[in-house]
Structure 1
Amino acid sequence: MAGPPHWPPTIRQPSIRLAPTGARARPFIAIAMEKSDAVASLGQTSLLQPARLRAALRANDRLKLYLTVLQVAAAQAAHPGRQALDLRHEIAAAGLAGADEADWLQELPATASRQDGDGAVHLPELPRLARSLHDDLLTMARPLLDAADGQAAFGQRVQHWAQRLEAIDGPALDGGLLESLTHGCREGHGHAASDSLHLTVMDLHKALNQLAARLAAETVAGAHVWGLAADGSDHARVAAFMQGLNRTRALKLDHPGLDTAATRDGERLLIQNDIGTNDAHVLVLQVQGLGITLTYSDLHRQRFAFFQQLLAELGAQWSSVQQRSTEGLNRGEAYHLGTSSFSASDEAGLQQQLQGIGARIVFLIDWNRARKRLLAFVDAEGAVAVLREAARRECGHMAWLQAGGERLVWNAMSAQGEGRFRLGDRLDAVMGAETARDWLVDLLALAWQAAQRQQPVALVADEARWLLAQRLQGRLGQMALLEEHAALCHALAQALRDGLVHGVHRDTAAAARLAARAKTWEREADHLVMQARALAERQPQWQPLARLLERSDDVADALEEAAFVLGVVAEGHHQGWAGPVLDELQALAAAVLGATQDQVKALAVLRSLGAPAGADGAAATDRDEFLAASWRVLQAERQCDTLLRSARRSLAREVSDAASLQLGNELAAALEHASDALLALVYGLREQAFQRAGVAA
């Protein structure tokens, strides 16, 4: 008899792994933990009966097949010259087509033989077949034995046949045992009526079908449900959960998972989602009133933490995460278990939370595989950040994995031309952490868009290369690091000039803040220089840039030194710093500030130098602007020389305190030294400009 229509598929049939048999070793079948057992470990037994019933009906199909194989094997032993029956149709009907068991069961009858003297059928793999019969008999009986009436009706019979099957430890199958296993007659064969394994299976099947009729199920937006509240309130909540789940379901592509079951248990609505294929990866929701309690188990601590972050956006309040081990689950290895709670102010808010939870589950499928693939390009924190942003954008990671995963990235990197990346380079080391993460998220989104449009993987690869080239141009253009460094120098010069104008040399606290801020900027500038040096060590084309950054760093060092000196002056060493002295120092600082501004302008123009001129003469305009800016830096350096000497004269004339005189000279000298470094930098920039224009410097 067929099973009930539309039965919940949330609990898959346990996978069967057959251990190798030896002459003296007892064969066994290790049955992987069912999702139903995982749900039971979470304490939600109300969700189990339909799942166990489905597993039992599938076990019935396999039991019928095993008994047929026994009968065919006996016939083959009796007539060894006869061609063996083809059992492929029966094997497929039992759901074993393509599995390891398919070939084994198909070949088993051909190994049967009769030995002289004892009349028994000899099957080398009989213990293996007996173990399969034993395990599926228990699986089939389980939903019935859980109930008191079922235990009374079948308990003794099932126990009897389980013990007889367990006792088979050799290859000999005598005629009496074969008959008692396979006969289907209620009346005895010339002797008193007797039970058989076949009859027990038939009676179990009939009882299972009666149980299925009592648990007739329906579906709500794809969720298999039973026993929901009669007023329809549960239906609306299940539908809300499924609305979110179905919104993102397509992101898993053809990966199994996301089957959902729901039922009512007293005052609570229970919703279970099996997520993927792993037996310890289970999610159960309890909805009562306007509150939700979510129980979640996962093998991977990192994925658990990721899911916690996703649900935090919905207001989840998590309990402490526990580490558990359950016999039969995940081969006894530890898994992580936690509970979160949600509260809503009204029914609409509750349904919105259910929808949000449902929409986020798909991002857990193959999450750890995607995280490991990303670790080749970013650090552990970066990999999680990429997956979190991909979830926020609802593009996920499965399409990227299916399109090639890390191969897409490696190919895009290798296509950037010689010198961009070396073997073993990580994206974040070359591009910077933020840029690398952004590009990877964009790549994941591209892969999903292509999957939606059914575009070829080759197109995704081309788009990945193009997108990476754009990112590299924006981040690693020859002037990018230098422009960032120049901006820090400009900030230093601006702070010094403003400080002198506003009298920071008379305010100890303000001068100390200026010195601290200047030190921070100078350290940031140092990091840019170190980054350029590291690039130059790996890639020769970065060496000219590294030399330019070293010259620019002389500017930053000189300006930071000036800020430090100004802070010391503010500690009481500013006697005589009025009138001509302050005027000269302010003028000196203003000249350096103007030179840093012209440096920034020159760098901005330098990007476009060397491009062919259009009708409007844009290239000629860029050239003129660059040369004008570079000449203004030269003029500023000469002006600073003059101002330095004027400042020294004013200091000697106006200041009598030795400390104030020395500090004033040091401040003026540091500012002038910054102008010298700016001039050296501009000469280097001029060489770059002439090279881009294709002429000699």
Structure 2
Amino acid sequence: MRKTQAVSSLGEHRLMLPAWVKAALAANDRLKGYLTVFQTASAHAAHPAGEVPDLAREFAAAGLDGAWLHDVAAAARKVDDDLLLPDMPRLVRGLEEDLGTMARPVVETAGDSADAARVKHWLDWLRALPADRLSARHVDALTRGRRGDGDSVHLLVMDLHKQINKLAGELASEVIDGANVWDLQPQDRTRVAAFMRGLNRTAALKFDHPGLDTAATRDGERLLLQNDIGTNDAHVLVLQVADRTITLTYSDLHRIRFEFFQSLLVPFGAKWSQVQSRTDAALNQGAAYSVGTAQFDCADEAALEAALEGIGSRIVFLIDWNRARKRLQAFVGKDEAIAVLAEAARLDIGHRAWLQAGGERLVFAAMQAAGEGAFQIGDRLDEVIGNADAHAFLLAVMQLACDALRRGQPAALVADETRMLLPQHVRQRTSEFDLLAEHAAYCHSLAQAVSDGLAHGAERSGKASRELATRAKAWERRADHLVMQAREKAERQPRWRPVARMMEQSDDVADALEEAAFLISLTAEQHVNGWNDNVRKLLARLAATVLQATQDQVKALAIARTLSATSEAMDNDAFLRATWRVLQAERQCDSLLRDARRVIIGAVRDAPSLMLANDLACVLELTSDRQLAAAYALRDLAFDKAGVRG
């Protein structure tokens, strides 16, 4: 084998690939500019009275003569349904040369004759075009993006770009903080590192979503950085750094997200050109997408690196942004949803964790758990508790989700914490009821956890029962803390004394439920001998009845805080019905306890198992007694508030 053959067998063409890829990426920018001219010229010729968009900054960023190309589009005319363009051979020649430049690294490395044949077909087609006019069929073959309608120059450029990006990643001669880079100058490295410092500071907020891969290289006097953001073809961000000026080119399917990104870059000195709306049948289902260019003029190298770091840190907040905005609009208005996302970005909280943990389902579940007295079907969060509290609550839930996912905690925990969090943000008419509502939320969460645990067999799982007991203890302690707050207020203000007394009675409910959770954890330690389906069903029914009574107490509390001497009879009746259901639940628990004891004595022979099963049943029944006492205390408090005397 001759040496030249040996070098060829090792793929000597790859020695030239870095330069070819660099040239191909630059050619891709110019090709997009040329194709934009054809689209703009065709649109202007169809509607000559309209103004031709000013694309000077975009053309300059691509290294094209913007004035000449603008004149070509402005002078376009329709003649016999053909598009007449001045100096068309020069425009087509630029297309042909740059298409060949862009295709070279792909054709040389793909090893697929289909790629070469496709490129040759379109190069031959360009050479055969008329010298002064294009038919509608020609324009369509140049600019068409819908794959189902056949191939086009535009589709070829898009496909080549994808393959070149893949090559760029493979060709990277080194990695700087996660960025694939090649052919950099010494000063470029600190600039790439600055960008990646910002990107990496917030990149974890995307969690399991793909994206944020970065590539960097030098092209003459410019450092080029490209970030893939996510997975969509039309969502692109490219940075050019020359001297102390940063030029950012950004395209987005969603104009509203484009405007959001513009607002994120305001603190870093972005000066935007006029944002253009473009149409591509292959992107966004043929709907328009937005393209714009921002310039950052930096006073010195420190300011330049700070701007690069700032830009990098904001990109993660674009991922899944539109989906988060739509989900938030179930609870607040459109502008407020964007304000929540902007504040989350400012605080480096992010929204991806919230979406991943359940998104709107977390909030709907919390609203539902608050009881129908607080939220009716169809209520929007901000309409019930106000914009400020809704804004604060949604931000807090996003923070909860971020913290939980970073620690590897389950989404179920985020749901539990969200349900407990909502009462803290509910705006009520009287401050005395704030602590009552928050305490009731803890009682409800405890009852829900105990009921769910028995319904799903927590007594048979050491891990599940331990987690239940741990959560219950934490909630019971938080409930105790609220009682202490009420006592402190009662010492200073007499009007708080009835509230403090009621909270003390309600705290007996929390104590009993925490004890039930503890007994379940003890039972799981190999003390379920003799427990059969009947035992489990009766204990689960007891817990479910206690849960229902807790929900009715929450509903009664929500109604009570709105009662006054002028309340409508409907509100008064709803309050009395809720407290009456607590009484019915207590009587039902008395009966269920007797049934449970008969079944437990008949089924369980092991002494520890018998004792724990009986103790658990008794504690659940005791909980219903204490709920009834708390319900009577609430009646007294509500009647006093409404001016009713017994």
Could you tell me the TM-score, scaled by structure 1's length?
Answer: 0.43
Greater share of helix = 2
TM-score by length of 2: 0.46
Larger-gyration structure (1/2): 1
